[in-house]
Each structure stands twice: as C-alpha cells, then as structure tokens.
Structure 1
Amino acid sequence: MSNIQAVLQVAEERQITVDMWRFWLDEVRDRAYQAQDVLDELGYEIIQRQLETQDSMKGKVCSFFSLSNPIAFGLRLTQELQKINECFDELREIATSYGRIVLSADTTPQPRRHSMTDSFFFLSEVVEGRGDDVSKIINLLISSCSQRVLSVIPIVGMARLGKTTVAKMVHREVKDRKLFDVTFWICVSDSFDDEWILGEMLLTLDKNTDGITGMDAIMTHLREELETKTFLLILDDVWNEDYERWKILKDCLLKISGNNRNVVVVTTRSRLTASIMESQTACSHELKQLSNNECWSIIREIVSRNGESIPSELEAIGIDIAKKCGGVPVVARVLGSMLFREKDKDKWSSIRDSDAVEMSRHYDQVLQLLKLSFDHLPSTSLQRCFSYCSIFPKDFEIEKEKLIQLWMAEGFLGSSVHWEMEDEGDRNFNVLLARSFFQDFQTDELGNVMCCKMPNLVHDLALMVTKSETVIQKPGSAIDGTFIRHLNLISSDERNGPTFLYDGRKLRTLFSRFLDKSWEFRALRSLTLNDARMTELPDSICRLKHLRYLDVSRTDIKALPKSITKLYHLQTLRFSDCGSLIKLPNKMEYLVGLRHIDFSHTPADVGCLTGLRSLPFFEVGQDKGHKIEELGCLKELRGRLRIVNLEHVRDKEEAKGANLSGKENINTLVFVWSSERESSSSSINYKDVLEGLQPHPDIRSLEIENYQGDEFPPWFLMPILNNLVVLKLKGCKKLPPAGLLK
C-alpha cells in the first residue's frame, strides 16, 4: 500500500493524462476507499461488542447469521479483506512497471528561477483599477524610508489578482522618481534560499560576479557595493512560511548596508507569509478584486485595441459578461481575447448566458496557473479539505464550524495525544484562508472566523481537482452515481421533476431536500437533509454504519428513530429549528462517537454524551436530566457555551456541579437569568450561584444577563481572568467597580 501511495503521488504530480493510467489511478482510489470501508466496519463491530458487554448482554442468544454474530461477521470480513488484497496485488504489479516509467525521469527538484506569474504571455497586459494600490504602496515606501530600520511591505492577495503587475508598476515609479539608489527585482517562487537570493542581488549589480559562490564572499561584495546606499528589494511570488528561513535572510540584509533605510516589497498569496515578513502591523497591502466596471474596462480595451468602437448593443452584453470575471483581471483578459474581433451578437450572448467561458482553452490555462497554489499546499490532508469545498455552490456562505465537522466525517483530519481533529481542522482552515482560497469572511468579537465564501475562480479549481468525484446537480434529472463520491442536490426542486439516482453505493456525501427510500447507500459519511419535506427518518437509518454527520435541521421531523442509537460512528448531529421534535430516543449514550450536537431545545440527559466537544446552549430545568450537573460530565466542551434559566440553580454547590472552572477549552461563556424572575427572590442566591459558576482562567469572553445580585463574587473582582478580552453585562442590577475592570 505504501508503494502504491508513492506511485500515486508521483502520478498526480506529473498530471498523467493517458487514459490507461488514469483508469489505473481511479481503480487504486476505488480499492483504497473499499479498504477504508471494511476497516470502518471492523471498528463498528468492536464498538458494538463493547456496548453489549457493558449492558451485560452476553447471555443473550444471537442468530448465527446476524450482523452481531462474531463468527459470521469474522468470516465476511475475512472474505472482503481477501478480495481487496488480491486486487491490490494485481494493481501493485501494474504499479511496479508503471512506477519505473514515471520515476525513471529525473525527479531532482530544480530551482525555479522564473515564476509562472510571468508566463501568461498570450494575453494583453491591460492594467485597470490598480492606480490607488500603487499610490498607497508608494506612500508606504516613502514613510518607511524615514525609519532607521529595514522595512518590509507585503502585497498579498489570491492568485491572478495582479500582485506582480502592481509590484512592477511600483518598481517603475520608484526608478523614475529615484526614491532609492539601487533597486532589485527577484522572482523567488520555490527558491527561498538566502544564498541564492543574495547572489541574484549581486548579479544585478555586477554581471561579472556570476562565478562567486559562498555566503561570505557574496556578503563581502554586497557590502562593498551597498554600504552607503539605499536599496529597494522586490521579492516576487514568495511561498515561504518558515520564519527562521526569513530571519536568516533579514539578518543578512541588515548587515549589508549601514544606511538601514532600505525597504523590501514582497508579493505573496499567503497571509501567513505576509505576517511573518512584515516589519510592523498594518504595513502590508491586501490587493482586492476589481469591480465589475473595472473588469469591463479591461475587456473593452482588448476588444477595441484596433481603435474600433463597440456597438451599444454589444456593450450592454459586455457589461453583463464582465460580471463573470469575479474581480480577477486575468479572467477579464481571457474574456476580452475571446471577444476580440467578434462582432456577432449571438456569440456575445452565448458567452453571457452559458458556461462557455469555463470550457474555453484559455480558461483552463488560467486554472492550471491557479493550481500552483493547490500544489503548494503542504499536505494531502489540506488538499483534500480544499477540494471537498467544491460540494458547495458558487457564492455559498460556508460556516467554518460545519465545514470542519464535514472534513472530520470524511476522515481528512487526524488526531493525537497532543491535538484533536477539531484542532487540525482549525489549522487547515486558517492555512486555506491565509492562502486566499477563502474570501468575504466574517468574524466574531474575538476575531474568530465564523463564515466565508470561495472566489468563483477558486471554486472552479476545486471542481477541477476533485476529478469528477463531486457533483452539484441541476433540478429534475437522472444521476449515475457510479463514480460520484460527493453529491449536492440541495438546489434541486421536486416541482421540477424527481431526481433519479442510479447506483449511489459509493456516495460518501449527500446534500438533499428529499430522501428516496429506493436509494441504496453503503459508504455514506455525511447526510444533510436541511429543509427536507419529511416528518420522520426511516428506521433503516441504522444501516448507514459509516455515517458521521447527520443534519435534519428545519424539518418537520417529530421524533428520531430508536435505531439512530446504532450509529456508533456518528460525530455530528444537527436538529435545530425542528419545532415538532419533542424528545430524543433512549440510549443516546450509545452514540459513543458523538462530538457535536446542535438543537433549538436542550434534550434531557445530555450529560450522558460525555464525548461532546460543542454544545450551543444549555437550558437549566428542575426535572431530572435537565439540572446543571449535566454539564459536569462534559469535560471536553470547547468554544462557546450559553447557559440559560439559571434561576433554577439553587445554590453555589449545585452551580459548582457544572465544573466550569475545569473546562479549559471553553473560550466564551454566557450566563442568563430569566427576566421574569420573581422579585422576591433572595439576592444572595444570585451571588452564590455566580460564584459557583467560576470559569477557567483562560476564558476570553464573558457575558452576564439579568443578574440581580447586589454584589459580584470574589473571582469576578480578583485578577484571575487575565485572558479576558470581552465582558458584557446586560440587565444587571448593579455594575462592578470600574477600577477593577483592568
């Protein structure tokens, strides 16, 4: 399996297009999925055995042919694994000979001296809408010159926005205005090597120094040339995210010139690169997408490059076509080149009304350039996380929390004794955000990203790299699911005719507003039925042994079937805004893998779900199963927790049962007393209860509503919450002394 994975990686890097080998690659992936499913079933069986043991069911006679029978299951599992191993043996033989072919070529990485940012030569270099960007960067340069330090100004933005073009305009203006004694332009790309970069600087100064090698010799010559001079160094297309590598280069640059009024300008797609290189906060310049009008200006200039005017009827269509650009200049240039010398109104209309642009040869070349960002992602886990985002429609607002839970369900995220799957998901999301794969993000008060969108061009890239495994289906059509792994039917409408799904046995993700009982799923990991017209889930839901994510929010479901407690691998269960859902089935504690639950009304006995990592809120009640002590067992909770109806907590000891002081991963707490609380209640109760709710010292945000106590507890007034960033008090009888809120 390791050998096959190695050949797979090489084949992917070489972008093999020969049909025979593409078929072989698809076969290997298919068998790998099957092997994963078999191992998953083994894990399911182990959990079932453990639960049966816990319930003292050993004396209960099982049918020999039942799934629960260990002998029958063992025989079936052995047969499945034997088939897969035989298939892998056959594929390994092919892989061995194939590997000789793809590995025989020279695989030694060669330093790339010319970035693909400059290789899009066949399009007009029309520049539009970047004058303000150039002016702002020039102003940053001038203000930086007054500081006696080495200043670094990153220009950051998604691929193909024109970072290199803007940097060239800055470079040209700097030379024209003679703002620096010397200017350097170095295209870095993969080659972030301090000795090579310094050597390129020396070559710029003196072409006769090509033979000089060694850091000491290069530095000696640079100091001789630059000791009394100021310089501007532009590093184009930087990918390095290692601070130590940047620090080595920075220290060398500081030693070169005693002037120290020098500036480095960096172009990068990575916000992380920008953050580790910028010399001070708010010094970087983020390149935004162009407006629709600016994109139309680029198209218009290319179309009318021969001095020909554009008829008004074509101009009206062209303005609409410009909206397809997504604010990306290179796409505007692609469209402009397609429309050049084209006078046929129908041709313009077809580009406006269809997906012709996505199918064009030039557009594919744009995506291949953009794919550099994908290829540079540092792990296969990150690449899988990115490509999975193609399941969402264009311009869809993606919730970060849901996305990470879906990544978990697909098995993209690992865990260890040092971090959890959610931690890796958070890191992966931040890397994709930093590399401009996401945009239009919204944050909470703590700066945490809550939701975002994908640029249209990036979404097209995600679809390209999924290799047809992901489909967003249009309404009222038939689907052959033979090779589909991820299917989105949310946009489908039953009024437009039913959607026929042929062979959904390989599906791992399904988003739908209806569930046909004839559909057969064997490998489903994620099932989203938001807004589905349904009042119940079938008992057969228990057959989805691999299911890890289930969302039935905003449906009319009245009850969840008892069989749902057999979904031992289930990690996320969402049933918010289900007004008809009264209670959950018994034995929910059987869901030993459940980590996230989302609802509108707190179910009873939530404390039995000891593996929960997130809980939207908790309604305190007086009945058994609703008391605040339920929270005490939930030791793994993280993120935000809202506790309401605190008037039902009697005293400090009962409040301490929630053990909030021991929940170090919760960063936001909200305490709410009902505003209808009887005025005759003792204020001592308020203070005692709040004292028992003392949070962990690492809490960052605290909100308290309708607190009617005359005093605040000691933990509130003492310097215990040193990490607190946000404090909100609403409807409280009194406020704490202002001097204590430091």
Structure 2
Amino acid sequence: MEWFRNLPALREDPVRAVLISTADLVGVEKIDGYVRQIRDFLDDDTVRILGIHGMGGVGKTTLLQRVKNNFHDIGAAQRFNHVIFVTVSRAPEILTIQEQIVKQLDIKSTSSTEYGTDISQFLLNKRFLLLLDDVWEELNLHDVGVPTPCAENKCKIILTSRSKSVCCKMGTPRKLLEVEPLSESEAWILFKKNVGGDVDLDQRDQEICRHAKAVAKKCGGLPLALKIVGRTMANAVSVGEWREAERNLTRSPHLVEDMKEKVLSLLEFSFDRLPNDNTKQCLLYCCLFKEDKNISITELIHYWIGEGFLDSEYSKSTSEAEDRGKTIISSLISASLLQKGDKVDNFSSRDLLDVDDSDKYVKVHDVVREMCLWLTSSESDKYGKFLLHPGMNIDIISDLERWNDVIVCSEFFRNFYTKMRQKYVQTW
C-alpha cells in the first residue's frame, strides 16, 4: 500500500522538491545554491508561485529576506517594477497585510476601506514580485487586492510556510523548495561563530571541545537554536560550564537562556495549531523513542491504537484506525513536526507496508523532541505527563505524587514499568 506517496499533502509528483542547506542562508558557505534555485524560478515563465517550507527556526525567513535585500543580484530588478515583502504571521488579518503593501508602495489612499481597490489599481499592468513570509493558512489574494500572477502580467510570488500543504493550497504544485537543517559540520561552524572569539573552541582543551560539540548537536541543526545557545555560551571558559550546558540541554533545555522563549515556544505554536488533541497526543508519544531513532510507521500506529489515541466513533475496525493513524502521520510531516525516516537496512521489526524504506519510517527532529519532552514535563504542566525520561536511569525519578495524571505507555515499555513497579512497589 503506497499510501504514503498517494496522500495529497505529500505527493512528490508533479512537485519538484528542492533541498537547500541553511548553511547558505547564514553565511557558513557560499550562497550559490539557493541563489541558483531562485534564479531558475524567476527565469521559468511557466511557474508563477514558489513555496518554501520547513520547520520553525530553520531559516525560511532569512532566505526570503536575502531575496529582498539582494534582488538586484538575482535579476529581480530587471524583471519587476516592484518587490514587496509582507509578513503574514500566525493570525493573518487582511487589513494588516494591506497596510504593509500600501506603505511599501507608497500608495496614497483616502481610507483603509479602500485599500483593496487602491492596491489592485496600483498593481494593474505592473510586474511585481510578492514575498509572503510566515504563511500559516491559505490566503485569498483577491481579498487583499493583489492580482493573480499569470503569464500575461508576468508577476510572481514566493511564500514561506512551515506547512507543505499550505504551500500547495496557495498554488505551488509545480515548485516547492524545502529548507533543511544544517549538517553536523555546518552546525558546528555556525555555533563556533556565535560563541565568539572570547571562547576559542578550536584552541581549548579536548574536554571542553567534546562538551561544546555535544551542545551544538543538541540544537538539531537549527540556525535559530545554534545562534541562541552559542551566544548564551559566549563567556563559558570552564569545563564545568560546558558540562552543565550539555546536561541542561539533555534534561531541561528550557533552562538554557532564551531557549524556551525563542525556540521551544516557536515550535510550540506549530504544536498548538494541530487540528485536535488526538493528533497532539500522537506527536507527544513520539518523544518516548530514542533520539534520532527511525520509528517504524506500522509499529507506531499500533502503539497509538493500543493507547486509544485513534479511538473514534467512526473507526469501527483496526484497519480504519490504521488509516486514521496514517492520516495523522501525513499531517505531522506536512506541519514539519515529523520527518521522513532514513533508509534502514536489515531492520528486524515486522513491517506491513509495501513501500520503500524511506517511506516505512519517521523521525522526530531533536529540537521538536525537546519541545515535546518540555510540554510533558512537570515544568510545563500544560499537557499530560509521560512517566519516562528517555535515556536516563530510572533512579533519578522521584516525587511520584506529582504524577497523578500520568499517561501509562503500552507494552512497548513493559520492561521499564516492570522495573518501576519493583522499585516503587509501595507507592505504585
């Protein structure tokens, strides 16, 4: 069953997905890669809209700002009368979007109620490049007053979104560009750059360097996280400081300065936008798997069924519940909260899906996983708790009275709970 490829939000054909390293976006390497793709889009008269998607903090806005600030270098100045940059944001308001356009184009309007008409008349018979940043849902450009790009007016739109499906709804079925996290080596370069010259990690002793690399790895290749954590560690010159930073990012990433407010909370908004509580529970459950683990889709769905996450009055059979689980996985991938897994050879688990290896597994990005653990921790208390700290010894768990509403996991963790019952038999 090649359901993974046939879902509308994930279908690769006719979409041409282009993967661009965010190293290009933050100055770690040359920007030739992404400039070439943008130029190709501008040169292609058959494609009017380009959708850029990827998880929060990966560098989509930075890419769009580069297009705006360097439009002469990419040939936009010769092609368009106007380049317009609009931040759409999480709760888009037509009036707010119109105000940004009116201000940038210096349109003299007598009333805000006339913005739509004034924008439409101003852009009539003009070639424009509209840059829409941070699009969370389908936006009706007609309501804004923006003419629809077509072959006749030669106008184009580039938009960014965390959701691949939103890009498709906005009319980008032929051209999608996915911005991926940095590789480990690229992330290390960016991390060192933000730590600064006061702490020369290349010249420090090996123990500091080892902890520093572990800290950088915990940022999951996200430029935003690497910058925040790197700047936080700018004055850390002792082994103890770096060891504590690694420990905090492993156990409690929200304790790192600005990590909660600027990174975890950024991803939390994507989490809050999920359609229902069952989908949220399904994502939170994924944080119980080991870091960087390729999770079998078949097994994951069966665990969800066992936990009751897929129960519904409309699900009358296991096969219907499995279909619902597949739909949830597709929505989580589309929202950039789950990733397609890597190719796995000689995997011992029983898989029932007759698809390529890359479509049999999913992964949780490191920082998304940290966000899930934070949301289910006692520090957050916003969602149900999991009585588990992956990778940690059970001896560290204490204060069991705080775990009144604990979500008990399925047979997958039966060995863990057997040990827990043996250790805390009197309080269980």
TM-score, normalised to structure 2, is 0.73
Paired amino acid for 1:388: Y
Counterpart of 1:390 (choices 282, 287, 294) is 287
Q: 1:518 to 1:236 in 2, by over 3 A?
A: closer
Following superposition, the deviation at residue 184 of structure 1 comes to: 1.1
1:232 and 2:129 matched = yes
Query: Distance in 2 between the 1:467 and 1:476 partners?
Result: 15
Residue of structure 2 equivalent to 1:272: 165
Give the drift of 1:417: 4.8
Structure 1 Cα separation of the partners of residues 121 and 192 of structure 2? 50
Report the AA paired with residue 69 of structure 2. Answer: R
Distance 1:486 1:159, change over 3 A: farther
Q: CA RMSD in A?
A: 3.5
Question: Which residue pairs with 2:54 in the alignment?
Answer: 157
Q: Is the 8 A contact 1:293 1:322 kept in 2?
A: no
Q: For structure 1, which runs of at least 5 residues remain unmatched after alignment? A: 1-124, 488-505, 521-742
Amino acid at match of 1:458: V
Distance 1:472 1:509, change over 3 A: farther
How much has 1:404 moved relative to structure 2? Answer: 1.9
Of 225, 234, 243, 1:340 maps to 234
Q: Give yes or no for contact 2:297–2:361 (8 Å, CA) kept in 1.
A: yes
Q: Distance in 1 between matches of 2:145 and 2:355?
A: 34
Matched, 1:261 2:178: no
Which structure 2 residues correspond to residues 627-638 of structure 1 after superposition, within 5 A? none
Is the CA contact 1:141–1:263 (under 8 Å) kept in the aligned structure 2? no
Deviation at 1:328, TM superposition (A): 0.9
Counterpart position of 2:14:
none
Q: Select which of 181, 201, 204 maps to 1:313.
A: 204
SS of equivalent to 2:204: helix
Cα deviation per residue 1:565-591 (whole Å; 9 max; x = unaligned)? xxxxxxxxxxxxxxxxxxxxxxxxxxx
Q: Secondary structure at the match of 1:395?
A: coil
Once residues 251 and 421 of structure 1 are traced to their aligned partners in structure 2, the CA distance between those partners, rounded to angstroms, is 44
Change (3 A) 1:380 1:319: closer
Give me the identity figure in percent.
25
- Secondary structure of 1:301 counterpart: helix
Q: Pick closer, same or farther for the CA change 1:514–1:202 going to 2, 3 Å.
A: closer
AA matched with 2:370: D
Q: Distance in 2 between matches of 1:378 and 1:325?
A: 27
Q: Could you say which residue in structure 2 is the equivalent of 1:287?
A: 179
The aligned amino acid for 1:363 is: M
Shift of 1:267: 0.8
Deviations 1:546-575 (A, max 9, x none): xxxxxxxxxxxxxxxxxxxxxxxxxxxxxx
Question: Could you tell me which residue of structure 1 aligns to residue 192 of structure 2?
Answer: 300
1:161 Cα offset (Å): 0.4
Contact 1:234 1:264 in 2 (8 A): yes
Cα drift, residue 360 of structure 1 = 1.2
Q: Number of paired residues?
A: 366
Report the residue type matching 2:415 in the other structure.
R
Structure 2: where are the runs of 5+ without partners?
1-24, 344-352, 379-384, 423-428
Structure 1 residues 313 and 418: alpha-carbon distance in aligned structure 2, compared to 1, 3 A threshold: closer
Q: Which amino acid aligns with 1:289?
A: P
Tell me whether 341-350 or 383-392 shows the greater mean CA deviation.
341-350
Q: Residue 374 of structure 1 aligns with which residue?
A: 271
**What CA distance in whole angstroms lies between the structure 2 residues aligned with 1:407 and 1:344?**
45
Deviation at 1:412, TM superposition (A): 2.2
Instruction: Report the equivalent of 1:135.
Output: 35
Give how far 1:508 is off: 4.7
**Corresponding residue of 1:330:** 224
CA distance in 2, matches of 1:514, 1:300: 39
- Cα 1:378/1:136, change in 2 over 3 Å: farther
User: Which of 311, 327, 332 does residue 427 from structure 1 map onto?
Assistant: 327
1:152 is displaced (CA, Å) by 1.0
Work out whether 1:463 is the aligned partner of 2:366.
Answer: no
Secondary structure at the residue paired with 1:254? coil
| Corresponding position: 1:407 with 2:300 | no
Q: Is the 8 A contact 1:270 1:435 kept in 2?
A: yes
Question: How far 1:295 moved relative to its partner?
Answer: 1.6
Amino acid at match of 2:186: E
Q: Which amino acid aligns with 1:380?
A: D
Match runs of 1:654-693 below 5 Å: none
Deviation at 1:290, TM superposition (A): 0.4
- In structure 2, do the counterparts of structure 1 residues 253 and 224 end up closer, same or farther at CA, with 3 Å as the change threshold? closer
Following superposition, the deviation at residue 407 of structure 1 comes to: 2.0
Q: 1:309 to 1:399 in 2, by over 3 A?
A: closer
Distance 1:329 1:458 in 2: 14
Listed one character per residue, the Cα deviations across residues 392-420 of structure 1 (whole Å, up to 9, x for unaligned) are 22112212122222222222224345883
CA offsets 1:692-725 (integer angstroms, 9 cap, x no match): xxxxxxxxxxxxxxxxxxxxxxxxxxxxxxxxxx
Provide the rounded CA distance (Å) in 2 between the counterparts of 1:516 and 1:412.
23
1:486–1:388: structure 2 CA closer, same or farther, 3 Å change rule?
farther
Indicate conservation of the 8 Å contact 2:53/2:177, yes or no.
Answer: yes
Higher-Rg structure is: 1
Task: State the match for 1:360 in structure 2.
Answer: 256
Q: Which has the higher contact order (CA 8 A, sep 6+)?
A: 2
Residue-by-residue CA offset, 1:605-635 (whole Å, 9 max, x unaligned): xxxxxxxxxxxxxxxxxxxxxxxxxxxxxxx
Structure 2 contact 87–97 (Cα < 8 Å) conserved: no
Cα 1:368–1:191 shift into 2, 3 Å: closer
Question: Does the CA-based 8 Å contact 1:295-1:322 persist in structure 2?
Answer: yes
CA contact (8 A) 1:233 1:263 kept: yes
Amino acid at match of 1:303: V
Residue 201 of structure 2 contacts residue 209 of structure 2 at CA under 8 Å; is this kept in 1? no
CA deviations over 1:474-518 (Å, ceiling 9, x no partner) = 34627555454899xxxxxxxxxxxxxxxxxx7354503377499
Distance 1:309 1:197, change over 3 A: same
Whether the 8 Å CA contact 1:299–1:333 is kept in 2: the answer is: yes
Contact 1:157–1:288 (8 Å) recurs in 2: yes
Letter in 1 for 2:157: V
Shift of 1:384: 1.8
Q: Does 1:513 pair with 2:415?
A: yes
Task: Call closer, same or farther: CA 1:323–1:143 in 2, change over 3 Å.
Answer: same
- For 1:513, the aligned partner's letter is N
Distance 2:148 2:418 in 1: 68
Equivalences for 1:183-262 in 2 at 5 Å?
183-192=83-92, 197-198=97-98, 200-206=100-106, 208-209=108-109, 211-213=111-113, 217-240=114-137, 242=138, 246=140, 253-254=147-148, 259-262=152-155
Give the SS at the match of 2:160.
strand
Offset of 1:135 from its aligned partner? 1.4
Q: Which residue of 1 aligns with 2:9?
A: none
Give how far 1:126 is off. Answer: 5.6
Change (3 A) 1:324 1:208: same
TM-score, normalisation: structure 1: 0.44
Deviation at 1:381, TM superposition (A): 1.9
**Does 224-233 or 449-458 show the bigger shift?**
224-233
Are residues 1:351 and 2:245 paired?
Answer: yes
Shift of 1:137: 3.6
Shift of 1:166: 1.0
2:159 alignment partner AA: V
1:363 positional shift = 1.8
Is this contact kept in 2: 1:130–1:166, CA < 8 A?
no
